[in-house]
C-alpha cells in the first residue's frame, strides 16, 4: 500500500541539523527531510494525541505505526527550486558557572612627584613627570609588554598592571624586566582578580536550512505492506498535530493526501544505498528498528558517539537538478515628481577630485545598461544592439536620440558630483525637463547597488571603487537645486571652457573664460550680465571623452579647469552648471550668500 504525504513549509524554510553532524562542516544540510526525523516526530505527536484520546489508547498502536513506517520505502517529489539558505549563527547557553576571573599583577612604585607645568599668570598649570621620569616611562613602554598598563598619579605614585589571566600564570619574565628598570615595588606585587558573577556561558552554533517555495509542497511516497486503513488514519491524526519539523523555525503543514488530489506521477528523488557524486546523506529507519531505538535521546550512551543511531541507516538522496532561476523583479515604490536622486559616496580610498567625470560617466553607463535590461528583459542588451524604439524610450537618460544624435535643449539626464571641502561626497542624478519614471528610478537604484570605479581604465580599477548609498527622499537637495535664487555663485567643481581660450600662452580674442561663460549663460537663458572672477590657479581635470577614446589617455587630467566666482546683476535660480562635461559633474556652481546680498 502506498501512502502519499503533502508537506508544506509556509515560511519557506526547513531548518534541521542532521543526527550528530557538525553544522559548521555540513556541506549538505538536511534535505530532503529524513524519514528518521519523520518517524521520531510522528512518535512524539502520537504521545500528544494519546493524551487527548478518549478512550485511552494502548502503546501497541504506536508500535504498529512505527513498524509500518520502518518497513516502508521512501521516495520524494521535491520542489526543483529548493536551495540551501545562508546559515544563521546564534549563541546558545552552555554551562552555568561563575565567570572565570581575570587575574593581574599590580605593583606600586613611589617615584618623584609630578611637577606643575607653567601656566598663565594666576593659573595652575597641568602636572607632568620630570625629564628623568619621562626617560624611565619611555624605557618601560619600550619593553612592549602586551598586557601592561601604566598609571602615574599626581602624587608621583606609579601603578603598573600586568595581566596574568590565570592565578598561577605569572608572567615572570615581564615582571623581571620591569624590576630591572623600576626596582622593587614599595610593597610586593599583588595579584588581583576581577569581580564576576554566576551565569551561563555561551557557545556559537550554526543553523543550516533549506529554502523551499512556500507554495510548492514536498511529496512523500511511502510504500510498505503493513499499512492498513486504521494505521493510515492514526498516521493522519499524528501528522495533523505536527506543527514543526526539525527546529522550531520550521513551521510545517503535513497531511496524508487522497488519490483524488493532483499528485505528481513519479518521484524525482529516491534514496539509494550507494553514494554517488552530489548525493546527500539521509537517515532512514531500519526495518527492524524498535521503539527504544526510535525514542532514544541524542545523549544516550548507546547513541552518543555514533554518527548513525541504532535502528537507523544512512541512505543517499540524489537531488533533482535545480533549474536556473532569475531574481524576482523588485519594483520600488515610484516617487512621483522625482527630478533628483542623491547618493552618498562611500570609499576606502577617497576619489580624486580630478576623476569626477570618470566616476559619473561610469555610473551613467551602468544606469543605461540597467535601463536597457529593464526595457528589453534581455541582460545582454546594449545601446548598439537594441532597436530604435528602445533607444527612443531611453533617450532622455542617454542624452542621444534613436539615431545616436545628441539631444538639444538640455533635456537629458545629468550625472553630477557634489563636493565638500573639494572632496566628492554626493553623486546627483538630475533632470529638470521631466521627472524620472518608475523604470528610470529602478535602473538608477540597481546601478547604485554595485560599486563604481573612478580609476583610469586598466590601472588597478578594482582598488579604486566607491559605494553609492541611496539617500532618503527626506534628505534636502544640495544648495542650488532647491529653487532658491542667489546673486553670487561659486564653483563646486572646476569649470573647463568648452573652447581653448589660450593660443601660444596668450588669451584668444573673444574666447576668454568670461566671454565663454557669458555666451553659455545666454544660450541657457540665464542673465548674462555677470562679473566673472577666477579663483585660484587652474588645475588639471579629466573630462568626458567618447568611449572609443577613453582608453587612450593616462590618468593625468586632460584639460585645465578653473574655479570661478560669478556675480550676477540680479538673483539667478540654479542649478548652474557650465562648460565642458557639465552634464558629468564639471562646472557645477553653488549659491553664496553674502551679508550685503539682498
Partner 1 sequence: MSDAEKKSPPKKLTPTDVLTGESPLVLTATLEPIAGDRFQPAGFPEIGHVIYKAPRKDGSTENVCIVDSAASMANHLETVCQRGAHDLDLVDALSGMPYIRCVTGALENDRLPSDKRETIVTSLTEGHRIASSYFLDGAALKPDGSKGNGKFEADLVAKFGIVLPGSSKAHPPPERWWDVFKGIFEIDPNSLVHGVLFPQWQIKIPRALTAHLEAFGAGRVDRSGVKFDRLGKTTSGQPIFAVDDATAESIRATFVIDVSLIRSFGRKKGETTLGLSEKQQEFLVALALWKVQQLLASPFRFRSGCNLRRTALKSYEQDVEIEVDIANAIKTAGLDKLPVTDVFWPRDELYREGQEAVASGGENDDGGEETGG
Return the residues of window 211-230 that contact partner 1 according to CB under 8 A. 211-213, 215-216
Phi-psi region at 231: left, alpha or beta (left = phi > 0; alpha = psi -120 to 50)? alpha
Least distance CB 210 / partner 1 (angstroms): 10
Given candidates 2, 22, 90, 433, which one binds partner 1 under the rule CB under 8 A?
A: 90
Task: Based on the shown chain and the rule CB under 8 A, indicate whether residue 128 belongs to the binding site for partner 1.
Answer: no
327 near partner 1 (CB under 8 A): yes
The nearest distance, CB 275 to partner 1, in angstroms, is 26
- Of the pair 153, 165, the CB lying nearest partner 1 is at 165
Query: Contact at 8 Å (CB) between 170 and 82?
Result: no
- Residue whose CB is less far from partner 1, 81 or 125: 81
**Is residue 149 within the footprint of partner 1 (CB under 8 A)?**
no
Pick from 22, 100, 522, 533: which binds partner 1 (CB under 8 A)? Answer: 100
If the CB atoms of residues 128 and 404 are measured against partner 1, the closer one turns out to be 128
Residue 444 CA to residue 397 CA, distance in Å, equals 10
Q: Interface with partner 1 includes 470 (CB under 8 A)?
A: yes
Strand partners, 371: none
Q: What is the C-alpha separation between 317 and 218, in angstroms, rounded? A: 14
What mask, x for binding partner 1 by CB under 8 A, covers residues 473 to 512? -x--------------------------------------
Rg (CA), the chain: 38
**54 near partner 1, judged by CB under 8 A:** yes
Q: Distance between CA 424 and CA 560 in Å, rounded?
A: 18
Which listed residue (27, 60, 98, 124) binds partner 1 by CB under 8 A? 98
Q: Which stretch binds partner 1 (CB under 8 A): 141-149, 161-169, 223-231, 524-532?
A: 161-169
Query: DSSP 3-state assignment of 240?
Result: helix
Residue in the structure block whose three cell numbers are 494502548: 58
# residues near partner 1 by CB under 8 A: 90
Find the binder of partner 1 among 134, 166, 306, 450 (CB under 8 A): 166
Of 260-299, which residues contact partner 1 (CB under 8 A)?
292, 295-297, 299
Site residues for partner 1, 418-447, by CB under 8 A, read none
439 or 527: CB nearest partner 1:
439
Per-residue 3-state assignment (H helix, E strand, C coil) for 438-487: HHHHHHHHHHHCCCEECCCCCCCHHHCEEEEEECCCCCCCCCCCCCCEEE
Q: Please tell me what DSSP assigns to residue 267.
A: -
Quickly tell me which residue has 564576576 as its cell. Answer: 196
Q: What gap in Å lies between CA 165 and CA 357, rounded to an integer?
A: 56
Q: Is 44 in the site for partner 1 (CB under 8 A)?
A: yes
594 burial via Cβ count (<10 Å: 0-12, 13-18, 19+)? exposed
Q: Which C-beta is closer to partner 1: that of 211 or that of 432?
A: 211
The whole-angstrom separation of Cα 415 and Cα 407 is 16
Of residues 183, 278, 346, 387, which one binds partner 1 by CB under 8 A?
346
151 binds partner 1 (CB under 8 A): no
- Identify residues 358-397 at the interface with partner 1 (CB under 8 A): none
Which member of 94, 112, 167, 287 binds partner 1 (CB under 8 A)?
167
C-alpha cell at position 100? 572565570
Give, to the nearest 10 degrees, the angle between helix 35-52 and helix 229-240: 90
Binders of partner 1 among 232-261, rule CB under 8 A?
240-241, 243-244, 247-249, 251
CB of 484 to partner 1, least distance (A): 25
Binding residues among 526-585 for partner 1 as defined by CB under 8 A: none
The number of C-alpha atoms within 13 Å of 24 and in the hemisphere containing its C-beta is 5
Instruction: Work out how close the CB of 207 gets to partner 1 at its nearest, in angstroms, rounded to a whole number.
Output: 8
Distance of alpha carbon 216 from alpha carbon 325, whole angstroms: 15
Amino acid at each position: 500500500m502506498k501512502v502519499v504525504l503533502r508537506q508544506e513549509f509556509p515560511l519557506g524554510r526547513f531548518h534541521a541539523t542532521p543526527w550528530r553532524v557538525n553544522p559548521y562542516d555540513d556541506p549538505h544540510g538536511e534535505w530532503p527531510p529524513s524519514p528518521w526525523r519523520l518517524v521520531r516526530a510522528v512518535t512524539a505527536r502520537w504521545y500528544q494525541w494519546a493524551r487527548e484520546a478518549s478512550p485511552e489508547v494502548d502503546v501497541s498502536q504506536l508500535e504498529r505505526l512505527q513498524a509500518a513506517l520502518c518497513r516502508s520505502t521512501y521516495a520524494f517529489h521535491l520542489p526543483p527550486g529548493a536551495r540551501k539558505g545562508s546559515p544563521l549563527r546564534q549563541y546558545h547557553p552552555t554551562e552555568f558557572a561563575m565567570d572565570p576571573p581575570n587575574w593581574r599583577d599590580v605593583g606600586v612604585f613611589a617615584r618623584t612627584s609630578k611637577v606643575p607645568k607653567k601656566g598663565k599668570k594666576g593659573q595652575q598649570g597641568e602636572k607632568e613627570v620630570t625629564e628623568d621620569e619621562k626617560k624611565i616611562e619611555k624605557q618601560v613602554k619600550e619593553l612592549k609588554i602586551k598586557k601592561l598598563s601604566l598609571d602615574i598619579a599626581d602624587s608621583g605614585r606609579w601603578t603598573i598592571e600586568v595581566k596574568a589571566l590565570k592565578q598561577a600564570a605569572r608572567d615572570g619574565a615581564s615582571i623581571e624586566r620591569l624590576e630591572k628598570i623600576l626596582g622593587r615595588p614599595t610593597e610586593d606585587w599583588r595579584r588581583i582578580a576581577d569581580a564576576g558573577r554566576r551565569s551561563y556561558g555561551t557557545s556559537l552554533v550554526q543553523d543550516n536550512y533549506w529554502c523551499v517555495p512556500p507554495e510548492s509542497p514536498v511529496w512523500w511516497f511511502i510504500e510498505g505492506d503493513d499499512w492498513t486503513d486504521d494505521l493510515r488514519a492514526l498516521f493522519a491524526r499524528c501528522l495533523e498535530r505536527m506543527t514543526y519539523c526539525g527546529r522550531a523555525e520550521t513551521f510545517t503543514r503535513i497531511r496524508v493526501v487522497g488519490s483524488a488530489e493532483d499528485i505528481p506521477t513519479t518521484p524525482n528523488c529516491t534514496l539509494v544505498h550507494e553514494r554517488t557524486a552530489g548525493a546527500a546523506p539521509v537517515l532512514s529507519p531500519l526495518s527492524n528498528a524498535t521503539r527504544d531505538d526510535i525514542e532514544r535521546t541524542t545523549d544516550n550512551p548507546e547513541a552518543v558517539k555514533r554518527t548513525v543511531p541504532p535502528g537507523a541507516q544512512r541512505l543517499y538522496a540524489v537531488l533533482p537538478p535545480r533549474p536556473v532561476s532569475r531574481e524576482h523583479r523588485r519594483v520600488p515604490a515610484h516617487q512621483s515628481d522625482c527630478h533628483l536622486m542623491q547618493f552618498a559616496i562611500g570609499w576606502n580610498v577617497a576619489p580624486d577630485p580630478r576623476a569626477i567625470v570618470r566616476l559619473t560617466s561610469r555610473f551613467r553607463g551602468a544606469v543605461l545598461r540597467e535601463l536597457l535590461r529593464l526595457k528589453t528583459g534581455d541582460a545582454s542588451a546594449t545601446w548598439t544592439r537594441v532597436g530604435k524604439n528602445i533607444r527612443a524610450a531611453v533617450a532622455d537618460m542617454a542624452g542621444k536620440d534613436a539615431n545616436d544624435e545628441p539631444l538639444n535643449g538640455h533635456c537629458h539626464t545629468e550625472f553630477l558630483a557634489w563636493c565638500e571641502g573639494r572632496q566628492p561626497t554626493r553623486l546627483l542624478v538630475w533632470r529638470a525637463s521631466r521627472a524620472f519614471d518608475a523604470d528610470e528610478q529602478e535602473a538608477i537604484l540597481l546601478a547604485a547597488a554595485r560599486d563604481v570605479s573612478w580609476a583610469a581604465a586598466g590601472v588597478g580599477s578594482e582598488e579604486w571603487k566607491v559605494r553609492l548609498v541611496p539617500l532618503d527622499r527626506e534628505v534636502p537637495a544640495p544648495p542650488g537645486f532647491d529653487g532658491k535664487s542667489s546673486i553670487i555663485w561659486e564653483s563646486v567643481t572646476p569649470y573647463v571652457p568648452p573652447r581653448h581660450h589660450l593660443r601660444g600662452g596668450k588669451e584668444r580674442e573673444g574666447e576668454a573664460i568670461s566671454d565663454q561663460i557669458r555666451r553659455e549663460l545666454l544660450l541657457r537663458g540665464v542673465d548674462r550680465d555677470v562679473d566673472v572672477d577666477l579663483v585660484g590657479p587652474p588645475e588639471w581635470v579629466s573630462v568626458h571623452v567618447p568611449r572609443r577614446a577613453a582608453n587612450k589617455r593616462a590618468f593625468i587630467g586632460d584639460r585645465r579647469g578653473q574655479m570661478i566666482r560669478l556675480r550676477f546683476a540680479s538673483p539667478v535660480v540654479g542649478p548652474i552648471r557650465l562648460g565642458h562635461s557639465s552634464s558629468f559633474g564639471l562646472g557645477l556652481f553653488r549659491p553664496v550668500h553674502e551679508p550685503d546680498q539682498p
